[in-house]
Amino acid sequence: MTISMYDATIPVLIRSMHNLSAILAKAAAHCEAKKIDPSVLVGSRLFPDMFPLSRQVQIAADMAKAGSSRLAGLTPPSFEDTEKTFAELIARLDKTIAHLETIKPAQFTGAETRDVTWPTRGGTMTMAGRPYLLNWVLPNLHFHVTTAYNILRHNGVEIGKQDFLGAP
């Protein structure tokens, strides 16, 4: 039995976006219950040279929408990086999920071997679709979702592994 590129991409990305959104909702509720200014958590980092929570969420959403779009042969939508509240970050994730839900399995035909080129800080990179998904998109997505989770957990938000994984 084989797994299609669509099945290895879209459901995984949608699930990660939903789980991250639920974690952010718990963080917002935590701030309200503990009378913490939400901007403190939205701007929190694990270490001074790392991005804050807001940027971790933005990058996770960007990785999901851009990675899936490129694999489907589409131009990724562009979102401005202006979110400063939990509500705005959750809205970005909702917008990302809505985009992912527009991508159809047929658009992934040939995606495993299709060359994907994308901009990086140092220029551009190109990979075939399968290694792009497995060695770039998914690891980057999970890194930024995990870092967002860790920032919130480090700051006392009561979340656990099941929140990260979501409902089975």
User: CA 92, 98, 104: angle at the middle one, nearest 5?
Assistant: 140
Residue 151 lies in a domain: yes
Residue 142 in domain: yes
Instruction: Kindly state whether residue 162 falls inside one of the protein's structural domains.
Output: no
Q: What pTM was estimated for this model as a whole?
A: 0.96
Predicted local distance difference test score (pLDDT) of residue 90: 98
Q: Percent of the chain at pLDDT above 70?
A: 100
Residue 20 lies in a domain: yes
CATH number at residue 21: 1.20.120.450
Once rounded to an integer, what is the mean pLDDT over residues 109-138? 96
Radius of gyration of the CA atoms of the chain, in A: 16
pLDDT at 167: 84
Structural domain includes residue 139:
yes
- Does the pLDDT value for residue 1 go beyond 80? no
Total Cβ atoms within 10 A of residue 2: 6
pLDDT per residue as tens digits for the range 63-115:
999 999 999 999 999 999 999 999 999 999 999 999 999 999 999 999 999 99
Q: What is the pLDDT of residue 23?
A: 98
Query: Do the domain assignments include residue 164?
Result: no
Average pLDDT over residues 134-146: 98
Q: Domain count for the chain, please give it.
A: 1
Determine the structural domain holding residue 145 and report its residue range.
5-33+41-156
Inside any domain, residue 166: no
Residue 168's pLDDT is: 79
Exposure pattern of 99-129 as b/e (b: 16+ CB <10 Å)? bbeebeeebbeebbebebeeeeeeeeeebeb
What is residue 76's predicted lDDT score, i.e. its pLDDT?
A: 96
* Mean pLDDT in residue range 139-150: 98
The token pair that represents 78 in the structure block = 């562009």
pLDDT at position 26, please?
98
Whole-angstrom distance, CA of residue 117 vs CA of residue 101: 23
Compute the average pLDDT of residues 14-41. 98
What is the C-alpha to C-alpha distance for residues 37 and 73, in angstroms, rounded to an integer?
42
The average pLDDT across 30-40 equals 98
Mean pLDDT for the stretch of residues 12-26? 98
